[in-house]
Amino acid sequence: MTLFYKSININYTIAGQGDTLVLLHGFLENQSMWDAFIPTLSQNRKVITVDLLGHGKTPCIGYVHTMEMMADAVFAVLRHEGVETFSVVGHSMGGYVALALAKKIPNMIETLCLLNSTPYTDSEERIKIRKRGIEAAKKNYGQVVRISVRNLFAKKSKILFPGEIEIVVNDALKTPLQGYIAAQEGMMKRSDQDLFLRESRFNKKLILAKDDPVLDSDLLQRDFQDSDLELVIIPDGHMSHIEQFFEVLNRLSKI
C-alpha cells in the first residue's frame, strides 16, 4: 500500500484485524525485516509496517530526516487508516522514531517497545562514528554498508546466519546514499527521551541484547532497573530479530 505524503509515496503494509500493532524497522532496514513475524503477530490483531523515509520503497524528502519527520510520516499513515490507539515496536532507529511518535501523541499509545534501542541521545563518540561513516559512505558506499551490517551481529551469529546476513546486506544496499546520510544526520540531532519515557503512563518494554556492539545494555539495565519499564536481556548482538528470532517473537506476541 502507499500513501501520498509531501510529494512522495510512503510504502506500508497491513495484515490482520483487531487492535493495532505498528512495527518500525531500523537504519538501513525496511519493513520486510518483519515478514517472518507477521503471520503469528497478525493472528489476533492488525499489524502495520512502514518503510521509513529514505528506506525501502519510501523515497527521501530531504537531506536530513529527523526522528520527528519520520514519526510524522508514520502518523500520517495511521491517521489515513483511521487508527485511534495502537502499540508500537521499534528496532534500533525505529525505536527512536517510536519515541518521537509517542511524544507527539502519547494518549494514543498503549504499549511502546524498544528493541535493541535506547531513549538516550548519541554520545560524542557515537556522533564522531556517524560523521566518519557519512564521509566514508560518500567514497565507497557498498563497502561501508557491508562492514556496518556485519558488525551488528555477535561473533557466533556471523557463523550461524550467513544467508540471513547476506539478505540484510542486500536490503541495506538498496537504501540510497541520500537516505543513509539523511538518517545519520537525523539520529545525530535527536534529543534525549529518557525523562519522557520514565514519566509516560503507557506500558513500556525494553528488549536488549547482552552483547550488542552498539548499545550499552549493562548501563541501560542499571538505569532502568527501578523503573516501571519491563526490561528483558537476551543473548547475542544488535540484530535480535534474527539472532534470537523465537525469543523476540514470543515477547512481541505478548504485547
In the chain the domains, ranked by start, together with CATH numbers, are: 2-253 (3.40.50.1820)
> What is the model's pTM?
0.97
Instruction: Give start and end residues of each alpha helix (H) in the chain.
Output: 38-41, 67-80, 93-104, 124-139, 141-150, 155-160, 162-173, 177-189, 194-199, 217-224, 240-243, 245-253
Q: Return the number of other C-beta atoms located less than 10 Å from residue 220's C-beta.
A: 21
Q: What is the pLDDT along the chain (255 residues), one digit of tens a residue?
A: 999 999 999 999 999 999 999 999 999 999 999 999 999 999 999 999 999 999 999 999 999 999 999 999 999 999 999 999 999 999 999 999 999 999 999 999 999 999 999 999 999 999 999 999 999 999 999 999 999 999 999 999 999 999 999 999 999 999 999 999 999 999 999 999 999 999 999 999 999 999 999 999 999 999 998 899 999 999 999 999 999 999 999 999 999
Burial of 167: CB neighbours in 10 Å, binned 0-12, 13-18, 19+: middle
Beta-carbon contacts of 55 under 8 Å, excluding residues fewer than 6 positions away, are 25, 28, 29, 30, 175, 179, 183
Rounded Cα distance, 154 and 187, in Å: 23
Beta-carbon contacts of 136 under 8 Å, excluding residues fewer than 6 positions away, are 143, 144
